[in-house]
Structure 1
Amino acid sequence: MSSAIASALQGIRAVIIDLDGTMIDTAPDFHVAINRMRADIDMAPVSSDVIIRYVGKGTENLVRSILALETPADQLEAIFPKALSRYQHHYQSINGDYSRIYPEVGTGLDAMREQGLRLACVTNKPIDFARPLLEKTALLGYFELVYGGDSLPRKKPDPYPMLQVCRDFMLEPHQVLAIGDSSNDAQAARAAGCKIVIVPYGYNHGLPVQTIDADGIVETLYQAAGLLAAPVPAPL
């Protein structure tokens, strides 16, 4: 399987990497901020397992989905502005405090950089949350580009962010690999014409990663770097 993935990844010159669930386990931050928000509007706390089902499609979607667990649709919009404001306040105050970098992220990024690959981070997390988190975890310096969910006119699963990186790097989509943890990442990459591999340890809206249309599953970013560097055997 690894040789098949390595073969599919020949000619890659740049890598677009997702943030939440791919490089950093931010579920504990979401858990704290969401439940502080819920306390502010007199709602009971919810478990982390519930919250991660809705991670990956942007802050507004996360807050709406959590409110919708017990709020009728005709009442949700009335409380949404306050809930969003309180969530943003709490998340900003604890951003990165409860998170952890996944294993082999740093070594994987080092290996990619040593190969001369250009690196971009594309996330649906608001840019005012994404950049401080990358800086706090000492990952920001790896990336030439960082686009958040509010940096561009459209966010993943729309292909726009992937195509913007291709334009910025002056590369064709087939020369760019995306690495993510969810169908959101895969749909964006596929629609853009980029290659896509998935890590198995993230969120994927609570669904098995094996259901994602991708070029393969890699255990870590370091394994992905190894596959990108692997020579393809000549045909017999």
Structure 2
Amino acid sequence: MPIQAIAFDLDGTLLDTIADLAAAANAMRADFGLPTLAQARLESFVGGGMQQLVHRALTDDRDGQAHAELHAAGVDAFCRHYDRLLAVQTRPYPGVLEGLQQCKALGLQLAVVTNKPYRFSVPLLEHTGLASYFSLVLGGDSLPEKKPSALPLLHVCERFACTPAALLMVGDSHFDRDAAVNAGSPCLLLDYGYEDVSALACDGHISSLVEAANFVKNALPIS
């Protein structure tokens, strides 16, 4: 079926946010007398949303769970620091602007579906000049469930009046792939994000959003 719409992940897909995320996480750790963690270590904690990132950053453990009181204080501290550090070093990846322009030129409806809280997602898109490309932005707290649940993608389908098979998910993690599988949507995974996705089965591994636009072109019926 021809693609009618695309849902894009945010961190690690559209925007390279890790430097600012790591700075906010380390500022949070400093508030609790904890030593600084390497950016690469904090990068390995990204993907499941802010709540999970705070758990991992506080415990320095990908499977760690801070106790409830510490976690609540950590979330408050992280939000305070990330508010001021939101777009200091964050930039779109190479090829993002060109890819979005080509997707819009194809007449596609575009959405952002991220596990990042909505309060950070929209300002980031505005700061980086990407907001105008999207008619819908869903954060990890916009709906009762987030990726890998199918709910966010099904919500996009409802808003855009398209079937799941006509909605392409473009991301950089297993959360994106699994959400697409659960919704019955095709999926492309980028190889430059925060997770090694080379072994994940999907509809294609790509290195640029321009390749996503080309994928859609190749799926269009011959006129």
TM score, norm. by length of structure 1: 0.89
Aligned with residue 217 of structure 1, among 184, 190, 205: 205
Rounded to whole Å, the distance in 2 between the matches of 1:137 and 1:95 is 11
Which residue of the partner structure matches residue 32 of structure 1?
Answer: 23
Rounded to whole Å, the distance in 1 between the matches of 2:153 and 2:219 is 26
Which residue of the partner structure matches residue 45 of structure 1?
Answer: 36
Residue by residue over 1:82-113, the C-alpha shift from the partner in whole angstroms, topping out at 9 and shown as x without a partner, is: 11111000001111111121001001000000
Rounded to whole Å, the distance in 2 between the matches of 1:74 and 1:102 is 32
Aligned with residue 109 of structure 2, among 108, 113, 118: 118
Displacement of 1:77 in angstroms is: 2.4
Q: 1:75 to 1:131 in 2, by over 3 A?
A: closer
Aligned with residue 53 of structure 2, among 57, 62, 80: 62
Displacement of 1:81 in angstroms is: 1.3
Which residue of the partner structure matches residue 149 of structure 2?
Answer: 158
Residue by residue over 1:136-193, the C-alpha shift from the partner in whole angstroms, topping out at 9 and shown as x without a partner, is: 0010000010000111110011111011001111111001100000001000011000
Structure with a larger share of its residues in helix:
1
Q: Where does the alignment leave 5 or more consecutive residues of structure 2 unmatched? A: none
Provide the alpha-carbon RMSD of the alignment: 1.7
Which residue of the partner structure matches residue 130 of structure 2?
Answer: 139
Q: Secondary structure at the match of 2:206?
A: coil
- 1:93-108 aligned at under 5 Å gives the runs 93-108=84-99
Q: 1:94 to 1:231 in 2, by over 3 A?
A: closer
Residue by residue over 1:11-63, the C-alpha shift from the partner in whole angstroms, topping out at 9 and shown as x without a partner, is: 11100000000010000011100010011110000011111112121100000
Q: 1:232 to 1:194 in 2, by over 3 A?
A: closer
Which residue of the partner structure matches residue 159 of structure 2?
Answer: 168
Q: Which amino acid counterpart does residue 93 of structure 1 have in structure 2?
A: R
TM score, norm. by length of structure 2: 0.94
Q: Which amino acid counterpart does residue 100 of structure 2 have in structure 1?
A: L
Q: Secondary structure at the match of 2:42?
A: helix
Q: Which amino acid counterpart does residue 141 of structure 1 have in structure 2?
A: S
Displacement of 1:223 in angstroms is: 1.4
Kept after mapping to 2: 8 A contact 1:108/1:223: yes
Rounded to whole Å, the distance in 2 between the matches of 1:183 and 1:100 is 23
Q: Where does the alignment leave 5 or more consecutive residues of structure 1 unmatched? A: 1-9
Runs of 4+ in 1 over 2 A off after TM superposition: 73-78, 230-234
